[in-house]
Amino acid sequence: MLDLHQAVHTLLTDNTQTVDHWQYTVPSATSYPYQWFWDSCFHAIMWSHFDALRAQAELDALVFRQHEDGFIGHVIYWQPGEILSIDWGIPHTSSLIQPPILAYAIWRTFAVSQDTNWLATIYPAAAAFYSYILRERDVRDVHLYGLVNPDESGEDNAPKFDTALGLPPQHNAKENTERRYALFDAHRQCNYNAMCTSEHFWVEDVAYNTYLVWNLDVLSDIAYTLGHKKDANRWREAATDTKTAMRKQMFHQGKYVSLSGRAATPVSTDGWDQFLPLLAGLYTQSEAHQLVHTHLLDKNRYWLHYGVPTVAPTDPAYTPDEPEWGEAWQHPDWRGAIWMVPHWCIYHGLRRYGFTTEAEMIRDKSIALIAQQGFRENYHPHTGIGMGAEGFTWGGLTIDMQPTTPTSLSD
């Protein structure tokens, strides 16, 4: 039988890198041998189950490469010569962002360590990071924050970005990757100014904005804990403004949808992130009931035997198979495969609204996939076969699928 705690501890330990006195965890030693932004936030959450100091170290390393304007890259290169094959144009990190889970990761770490000195030491970096997002990524000035490259969502080639990339629902992975690479160039030529890059690509993503409001609320709680009342109010207001804007502009027919391009056209993809706003409490109880019963529990779309697919099998973009082209890291599949971060998010979203049985089923399905296939990057929704990177850390989040896990400090 799988000893989950032991297996996760071994995986995190095996994937730990030490450079001077810095320590971080790589998502997969073979496919992703660098430090990645949101992965590190999840690693800190996982480490907090074993070793609060190691969780602190993970986040300390993450903010160490912060730029003066508050930006933190989605990939951080610690060893000389590590630059993937992309010319980002800036030293040590990529030029893109990733989902802003930092405040929540800090809070979860602090919840275990209770080390107020550490909290006070890392807070300025977090404050600078969220200020950067609020300042740089609201190009329409509507309190909705946008992405200049699909990779910034952490769901690299999800079909919700197809329209903005000018691609049809079915296209080959090579074409997709080429467009994303062209955007790296555009961003560099725009000197990393999102207003300029948004002429090439712009998506106000439901998932990104949900992670943001959820984390701004947590950041407000952190600021309050440290006695920074003015900051606490500022973060709370920013969260409220975005929640209001999401409701006004993204809420269509009972669910939240992403907006594509500077014209903010609603995206029609039937994707898993319609469930993500449950995590931040953005649906009313009756909307949540309707969403879960009509969409999540639909056996043809989301309630599949092995878990919840990232895209519904009935959507024209659904492509769950592993592409045959290129290296594994070049075509992460967010077009149907089951990934553990969405499972973790949906688990906690369901719990927040009292869907305990359904949440436990997602947890059980997640653990079953790991027991049968090991810690893989993602899993085929119809066969349960593990795909993509091996020794991939996200399955470690199953130890954090527990009824007692708080989604925010005020819970």
Closest to ligand GLC by CB, 30 vs 294, is 30
Tokens (6 digits) for 157: 């080639």
Does residue 100 belong to the site contacting ligand GLC (CB under 6 A)?
no
Interface pick for ligand GLC out of 24, 36, 118, 129 (rule CB under 6 A): 36
Q: Which stretch binds ligand GLC (CB under 6 A): 32-40, 43-51, 104-112, 285-293?
A: 32-40
Instruction: Give the C-alpha distances (Å, rounded to integers) separating 325 from 51, 114, 175, 186, 339.
Output: 40, 47, 11, 25, 20
Q: Which long-range contacts (CB under 8 A, 24 or more apart) does 235-240 make?
A: 235/130, 238/130, 238/134, 238/143, 239/212, 239/213
CA quadruple 263, 264, 270, 274: dihedral, nearest 10: 180
Smallest gap from residue 21 Cβ to ligand GLC (A): 24
Does residue 154 belong to the site contacting ligand GLC (CB under 6 A)?
yes
Closest to ligand GLC by CB, 177 vs 240, is 177
Of 132, 36, 24, 20, whose CA–CA distance to 332 is shortest? Answer: 36
Smallest gap from residue 394 Cβ to ligand GLC (A): 7
Does residue 32 belong to the site contacting ligand GLC (CB under 6 A)?
yes
Residue with tokens 């009509």: 294
Closest to ligand GLC by CB, 146 vs 150, is 150
Does residue 315 belong to the site contacting ligand GLC (CB under 6 A)?
no
Smallest gap from residue 249 Cβ to ligand GLC (A): 25
Rounded-to-integer distance, Cα 28 and Cα 43, Å: 12
Smallest gap from residue 140 Cβ to ligand GLC (A): 25
Interface pick for ligand GLC out of 156, 231, 270, 358 (rule CB under 6 A): 156
Q: Within 13 Å, how many C-alpha atoms sit on residue 214's CB side?
A: 28
Rounded-to-integer distance, Cα 382 and Cα 307, Å: 9
Segment holding 259, helix H or strand E: strand 259-260
Interface pick for ligand GLC out of 27, 146, 281, 381 (rule CB under 6 A): 27
Q: Which stretch binds ligand GLC (CB under 6 A): 34-42, 108-116, 219-227, 243-251?
A: 34-42
Number of residues that bind ligand GLC (CB under 6 A): 8
The site for ligand GLC (CB under 6 A) is made up of 27, 32, 36, 38-39, 154, 156, 332
